[in-house]
Chains A and B, each alone.
Chain A
Amino acid sequence: MDKFIDGENNSRNPRETFGVTCPSCGGSLRITEGQRSIQCEYCFSNLYIANPPGVKSFFLKPRITAGKAKLEALRWISKKSNGRVKAKYTSVVEHKLVHVPFWRMRGRFIGWICGEEVKLKKVETNTSTARGEIRRQVLKQESTPFSKFVSRNVDWSAPACVIKHLGMQGISMKASMLKWEIFNHDFKTTMNIALPTKSAKTAKRDALRHIINLAKPSGANIRASRFHLFGSNLSIYYFPIYLLRYKFKDKIYIITIDGNNGNIIRAEVPGRKKLNPTTFFFIPAVLALLTETYFPLLFITVGCIYIMDQLQGNRITMPHLWLKYRLQKWFGGN
């Protein structure tokens, strides 16, 4: 008998799965995205997936712990800063797990576009002057009417809220390979969830605009167009992300870590202070000049600068600490 290939068996097109409960026996089942019916593997009853219209929400349980995320982050910072920023010099101020919402639109897109393709063409023209005929190359605009049909599968996603330092544009690629759970709104009290600020209407509009822009040929005047998304569904996916803030030299830096696989999504690493060539030239030159003219003048100058710094700072610093601070300020480094 002719049979449709099931999504799970098709390795080229992986589809995400969702956890549901059998209404007859209460058994835990997993349904593949796009599947409309299933047989319970425990009580063998035939079931269909009631898919009410509207937005569906799913969430993903984090696969890595907070401790592992922190460890991963510190290892990454150390690697990226060539060992300059190590765990013993940094202190983690805050680390929390946040479920970040993403809008996701899946479906099939069909469209018809009609217009004119505009091309610039070089045309040679002969112009008669007093000196005779002159050949000139003129750029001429040529427009050719066109009409085309567009059809494609759509998988669009975008963050549903604004989170600074998130570093993720979408989850389409990730989503198709993960095991999602159906989101219950009671989770909002127990889990740390970022609430969506972008409405479903805006998300739909953004998705359609994005798809239409992809379908429209560049450099063409569009006279008429018609687009339709069918078999589409707009859903919210709550993706786990660890947000870690760490302190290094009185400055706070942020790292975002993927809660599913522990990969660093975005990170801020303390930059090495750039060496100023003018400082490296002028300060030794001044020092050499002072030593050459009258040697005690060097100590007098250093003493004057020390006294000025104490007066400006309104506190007394030990001379060796002040010297270390000054040298660091002039020449950089740790």
Chain B
Amino acid sequence: MNNVLTLKRLVCKHCGAELSGLSDSITFQCKTCYRYFIITPEGLKDIAVYTAIGKEQYKKQPLMLPFWLVEVDRKLLRKEIEKSLSELRKLNSSIAKTRLEKNPEDENNILSWNLHTGTEKLHAMANTSSHRSIPGSREIEYLLSTIESFKSFFIYIPAFISRNPFAYLKIGKLLTKKQPSFEIEQSTLPGKPVMCVLQQDEAVELIDFIFFATLPSSILKCGDFLNPISLKVSGSPRLVLFPFQKRTNSLFSLIGEFSVSSSLIVNVT
């Protein structure tokens, strides 16, 4: 039952030199060969850390914040969305049929729906409590086509420390929604500690929440539609450092081009 906390030496597996890092983070860099390591439940493991490079050169040294980049399987996402939609439609039609059998007086109302447009029909259905609300098919098609228009669709999961868990949703949502274009290169520069506190497995568990946060409120309110949907990861997640610029009370993402309150990442002094 007891799994005792023990201390182990922070030594590079390749050259035997000491590793350095920040006290709260789980990633460390070797002082001599500049390789990165991460603490996992199994012990210390090698990890490749990448740096995102924007189009412009930065005048000031930016603050590099780590994110897990998780690529989503778009084909499976489309399938899941279509499946959820068709199942809900079936369910709604069966509910309408049973109601019709119970209360034939409603027949006129239900038949009159055929004369209305899709949205009117949806509103009418949503007003009845037993009906499950379904997002508009055009809205869903637009969402899917937007996701498919990118070369690959990534979910950005903040891996830095924050006392406010809302930061994970907010910053992850802003970058995921934007899907910025940038280049990445493996980071091997000396003296660059990575402030990563989130394990890869934990990051993968958060992708659904960050994806949901990017959705418009009209879709988010259709709980029965979203409930069965879960994103599938394609490829292994990457730990990427994104440049942020410190401003008076905010942090500006040089790649995402948005600002967030620095209080969300309060630990940066």
Name A residues whose Cβ lies closer than 8 Å to a Cβ of B. Answer: 2-7, 13, 18, 20-24, 29, 31, 34-38, 45-57, 108-112, 114-116, 143, 145-147, 149, 151-153, 182-185, 200, 222-226, 228, 230-231, 236
B44 and chain A: residue at smallest CB distance: A48
Name B residues whose Cβ lies closer than 8 Å to a Cβ of A. Answer: 1-10, 18-26, 28, 39, 41, 43-44, 63, 126, 129, 132-133, 161, 163-166, 168-169, 195, 197-198, 202, 205-206, 208-209, 212-213, 217, 220-224, 226-227, 267-269
Assess the A5–B223 pair: CB atoms within 8 A: no
Return the contact of B217 from the options A49, A112, A115, A147 (Cβ within 8 A). A147
Return the contact of A47 from the options B2, B9, B269 (Cβ within 8 A). B9
Assess the A23–B7 pair: CB atoms within 8 A: yes
Residues of A within 8 A of B129 (CB): 116, 143
Given contacts A4-B25, A50-B43, A53-B41, 8 further A-B contacts (CB under 8 A): A4-B22, A36-B23, A47-B7, A50-B7, A56-B5, A112-B220, A185-B1, A226-B227
**A23 vs B5: C-alpha distance in the bound complex, in angstroms?**
12
Assess the A4–B3 pair: CB atoms within 8 A: no
Assess the B9–A36 pair: CB atoms within 8 A: no
**A225 vs B227: C-alpha distance in the bound complex, in angstroms?**
7
Assess the A23–B10 pair: CB atoms within 8 A: no
Please list 25 pairs of residues, one from A and one from B, whose beta carbons are closer than 8 Å in the complex, sorted by A's number. Answer: A4-B22, A4-B161, A4-B195, A23-B9, A31-B7, A36-B21, A36-B25, A47-B8, A48-B8, A49-B5, A50-B7, A52-B41, A53-B41, A112-B212, A114-B226, A149-B209, A151-B168, A184-B2, A185-B1, A223-B132, A223-B223, A226-B209, A228-B205, A231-B198, A236-B1
A44 and chain B: residue at smallest CB distance: B18
Assess the A49–B7 pair: CB atoms within 8 A: yes
Residues of A within 8 A of B222 (CB): 114
Given A53-B3, A145-B126, A114 contacting B202 (CB threshold 8 A) = no
CB distance from B60 to the nearest CB of A (A): 12
Assess the B166–A151 pair: CB atoms within 8 A: yes
Residues of B within 8 A of A112 (CB): 209, 212, 220
**A54 vs B5: C-alpha distance in the bound complex, in angstroms?**
11
Return the contact of A224 from the options B23, B206, B224 (Cβ within 8 A). B224
Assess the A153–B165 pair: CB atoms within 8 A: yes
Return the contact of B224 from the options A4, A185, A223, A226 (Cβ within 8 A). A223
Assess the B221–A145 pair: CB atoms within 8 A: yes
Residues of A within 8 A of B209 (CB): 110-112, 149, 226, 228
**A20 vs B6: C-alpha distance in the bound complex, in angstroms?**
7
Residues of B within 8 A of A47 (CB): 7-10
Given A36-B39, A146-B221, A46 contacting B226 (CB threshold 8 A) = no
Residues of A within 8 A of B226 (CB): 114, 224
Assess the A4–B23 pair: CB atoms within 8 A: yes
Assess the B267–A4 pair: CB atoms within 8 A: yes
Return the contact of B9 from the options A46, A57, A236 (Cβ within 8 A). A46
**A202 vs B10: C-alpha distance in the bound complex, in angstroms?**
36
A200 and chain B: residue at smallest CB distance: B1
Given A13-B163, A145-B126, A38 contacting B220 (CB threshold 8 A) = no
Residues of B within 8 A of A224 (CB): 223-224, 226-227
B161 and chain A: residue at smallest CB distance: A4
Q: Which of A24, A36, A52, A226 has the most CB of B within 10 A?
A: A36
Assess the A34–B24 pair: CB atoms within 8 A: yes
Assess the B221–A114 pair: CB atoms within 8 A: yes
Assess the B7–A22 pair: CB atoms within 8 A: yes
Given A4-B22, A6-B23, A50 contacting B223 (CB threshold 8 A) = no
CB distance from B187 to the nearest CB of A (A): 16
Given A35-B23, A49-B7, A224-B223, A54 contacting B168 (CB threshold 8 A) = no
Return the contact of B7 from the options A48, A183, A223 (Cβ within 8 A). A48
CB distance from A235 to the nearest CB of B (A): 10
B2 and chain A: residue at smallest CB distance: A57
A35 and chain B: residue at smallest CB distance: B23
Return the contact of B3 from the options A2, A22, A52 (Cβ within 8 A). A52
Residues of A within 8 A of B44 (CB): 48
Residues of B within 8 A of A147 (CB): 217, 220-221, 223
Assess the A5–B269 pair: CB atoms within 8 A: yes
Assess the B39–A23 pair: CB atoms within 8 A: no
Assess the B267–A149 pair: CB atoms within 8 A: no
**A270 vs B201: C-alpha distance in the bound complex, in angstroms?**
57
